[in-house]
Structure 1
Amino acid sequence: MEASAPQYKLILGSSSTARKKILGDMGYEFTTMSADIDEKAIRKEKPEDLVMALAEAKADAIISKFRKIENLEKDVNPTILVAADTVVVYEGAVREKPSSEAEARQFMKDYANGHAATVSSVLVTNLATGTRRGEWDKVEIYFHDLPDEVIDKLIEEGTVLYAAGGLIIEHPLVLPYIKEVVGSTDSVMGLPKGLTERLIKEVL
């Protein structure tokens, strides 16, 4: 007898490599769709409100795209959409992806011997019933000094230019300079496992 497959389809509403890896590590089979939204057009004062609003905008964009290509009525099993967003907060200010190499460098210099936080949202929608559950998760990250040559290497390599706040804690070059992470690493990478698991169960 084979293990019971989940009676639903799962879509990850993100093209993030880290989020795909986390969801895969959790044992889920899923397809991915990404939202084409103008993230800069969405502004909220509090980072918690911002990441929730961004996840909602992404989910809505993906759902309308999905409805165009799939006739949901025919499908017996529900489709579950997981949307997420992450921002970095430094001294109360929200940081998104760096707009230039100079900004990425400044971001990383700021973190040296200091700390930053990530606020990640997860929003799960059951497309068959319309049920939607979302929450955010916050993690504090404390750094040792980040040497200039490490910052140079990171910028040269380029991955940090696509990360919120120019922050990648799981990077082999960055790891030795992490003093402490208060919270879960998967949350910093963009998808808190425990929260995602719980929200999926709640919408089924």
Structure 2
Amino acid sequence: MGGQRKTASRNPPFKIILGSSSKARKQILAEMGFEFTVVTADIDEKGIRREKPEDLVIALADAKVVVHQGTIREKPTSKEQAREYIKGYSGGNAAVVGSVMVTNLKTGKRCGGWESAEVYFHEIPDEVIDAVIDEGVTFNVAGGLMLEHPLTLPFVDAVVGSTDTVMGLSKALTEKLLLEAL
């Protein structure tokens, strides 16, 4: 498998391996016109710690974290924690910090960076919070909430920054780093 991407200036074929099983990252990469193979590492993300969200996402290399009132929020581990997270966003905001790391496997050149975006929310009713938690998707995403989820999307007031950054993969940063790595 693998794919080719043609650019206006040159047509070098190259294969892309996505080191993440995230549905959102797969969708974004496909939207960008890339074919890719998914190969994930079995690592303990909770075992990698950094104080600053920008440092943490670079250390995790393919990760996204949510920051709410100065506290890093990764995937919730219980219904109670998920409820606390989502209630905290209700009528407020959260920042998403995501990173992209591109490695050219032929040359070994690594290019990485991070980008952030802010999401502002209307009040989210308790019954919506309960429905999102009961569905279970909240345990698979940083901060416990998916921007694009049909239950929560109506309560998004504004996004400052790019929506794809919030979803887990900045298109602009990915394009920039792919070009740098080549």
* Normalised-by-shorter TM-score class: over 0.9
Identity of aligned residues (%): 60
Matches within 5 A, 1:44-55: 44-55=50-61
Shift of 1:194: 0.7
Cα distance in structure 2, aligned partners of 1:162 and 1:144: 23
Does residue 31 of structure 2 align to residue 20 of structure 1? no
Shift of 1:22: 0.4
What letter corresponds to residue 40 of structure 1 in structure 2? K
Does residue 45 of structure 2 align to residue 39 of structure 1? yes
SS in 2 for 1:168: coil
Cα distance in structure 2, aligned partners of 1:157 and 1:88: 20
Matches within 5 A, 1:35-114: 35-55=41-61, 84-114=62-92
Cα distance in structure 2, aligned partners of 1:191 and 1:126: 18
1:8 aligns with one of 14, 20, 23: 14
Taking structure 1 as reference, are residues 96 and 122 closer, same or farther at Cα in structure 2, changes over 3 Å only?
A: same
Residue aligning to 1:188: 166
1:126 aligns with one of 88, 104, 108: 104
Over residues 11-58 of structure 1, what are the superposed CA-to-partner deviations in whole Å (9 max), with x where a residue is unaligned?
000011110010001000110001111111111110000000111xxx
SS in 2 for 1:37: coil
Instruction: Please identify runs of 4+ aligned residues in structure 1 that moved more than 2 A.
Output: 3-6
Cα distance in structure 2, aligned partners of 1:6 and 1:102: 50
Does residue 168 of structure 2 align to residue 168 of structure 1? no
SS in 1 for 2:63: strand
Cα distance in structure 2, aligned partners of 1:50 and 1:30: 25
Shift of 1:6: 4.4
Residue aligning to 1:136: 114
Cα distance in structure 2, aligned partners of 1:39 and 1:153: 27
Residue aligning to 1:146: 124
Cα distance in structure 2, aligned partners of 1:44 and 1:148: 33
Q: What is the CA RMSD across the aligned residues, in angstroms?
A: 1.2
What letter corresponds to residue 183 of structure 1 in structure 2? G
Over residues 75-97 of structure 1, what are the superposed CA-to-partner deviations in whole Å (9 max), with x where a residue is unaligned?
xxxxxxxxx21000001110010
Residues matched between the structures, number: 174
What letter corresponds to residue 37 of structure 1 in structure 2? I
Q: Which runs of 5+ in 1 are unaligned?
A: 56-83
Cα distance in structure 2, aligned partners of 1:201 and 1:178: 33
Residue aligning to 1:61: none
Cα distance in structure 1, aligned partners of 2:96 and 2:56: 12
Greater fraction of residues in helix:
1
Q: Which runs of 5+ in 2 are unaligned?
A: none
What letter corresponds to residue 185 of structure 1 in structure 2? T
1:158 aligns with one of 136, 152, 157: 136
